[in-house]
Structure 1
Amino acid sequence: MPKLIKFLFRNALGGALAGAFFSGLLIWSNVAGLRHLVLETADGPLAAGIMTVFFMITFASVQMGRAIMGMADPEDNNDLTPPRNGEMVAIRVHDRG
């Protein structure tokens, strides 16, 4: 399997596990009565499953995006990036009036 696919899969798996953990944490801490919804209604397990799947998809997507953005070469310095040391740069502005 190519290295990039392995890289994305590892990050997606980590994000999905974080999403499942977060969903369980919300239910365990009974935020907005979620524990009551899950344990005492007929469709509670369905609601918990849907919420967990959506959290897993969201967290996996965010983790993959973060990993891809983090792949940038730190030495990649072109004219489009602002100075990183925080110094002010003078810019010439022409009046069109």
Structure 2
Amino acid sequence: MPKLVRLYITQVAIGFGLAGVFVAMLLWFNIANLWHLVSHSDKGLLAVVILWFANGIVFAGVQFGIAVMRMKDDDDDEPRGGHRQHIMQRDYVAIPVPVDQGHKRTT
């Protein structure tokens, strides 16, 4: 299995595990009376599974993004700055124009 696929699978598993812990904490601490809603409804288990799955997708994406961003290339030793772009100069000078405010519109 390629390294990138293995990295993706492990990070997604970690993300879904973290989402499970997050949903368990939501239920344990009864945030927004969620435990009562889930335990007193006939569709409560389905709601918990959907909540876990939706949060799992988000947590897995963030976990994989963090893992990719932490991958770095250690051979970046020389300074690289690039070339600065030239600043465009104006050929004209802005001249203020006086405005007569003696005539005002009435509505």
Q: How far apart, CA to CA, are the structure 1 residues paired with 2:80 and 2:52? A: 42
Provide the alpha-carbon RMSD of the alignment: 2.3
Gaps of 5+ in 2: 93-107
Q: Can you list the C-alpha shifts for 1:24-72, whole angstroms capped at 9, x where unaligned?
A: 1101110001100110112211111110111111101110111111113
TM-score normalised by structure 1 residue count: 0.76
Q: How far apart, CA to CA, are the structure 2 residues paired with 1:44 and 1:58? A: 21
Give 1 or 2: higher helix fraction.
1
Bigger radius of gyration, 1 or 2? 2
Q: How far apart, CA to CA, are the structure 1 residues paired with 2:47 and 2:80? A: 49
Q: Does 1:14 align with 2:27?
A: no
For residue 79 of structure 1, what is the amino acid of its counterpart? G
1:79 maps to: 81
State the 4+ residue runs in structure 1 displaced beyond 6 angstroms.
none
Q: How far apart, CA to CA, are the structure 2 residues paired with 1:68 and 1:37? A: 38
Q: Does 1:36 align with 2:24?
A: no
For residue 63 of structure 2, what is the amino acid of its counterpart? Q
Q: Does 1:59 align with 2:59?
A: yes
- How far 1:73 moved relative to its partner? 2.0
Secondary structure, counterpart of 2:17 in structure 1: helix
Percent of aligned positions that are identical: 35
- How far 1:94 moved relative to its partner? 5.3
TM-score normalised by structure 2 residue count: 0.70
For residue 7 of structure 2, what is the amino acid of its counterpart? F
1:84 maps to: none
For residue 10 of structure 1, what is the amino acid of its counterpart? T
Which shifted more, 65-74 or 48-57? 65-74
2:95 maps to: none
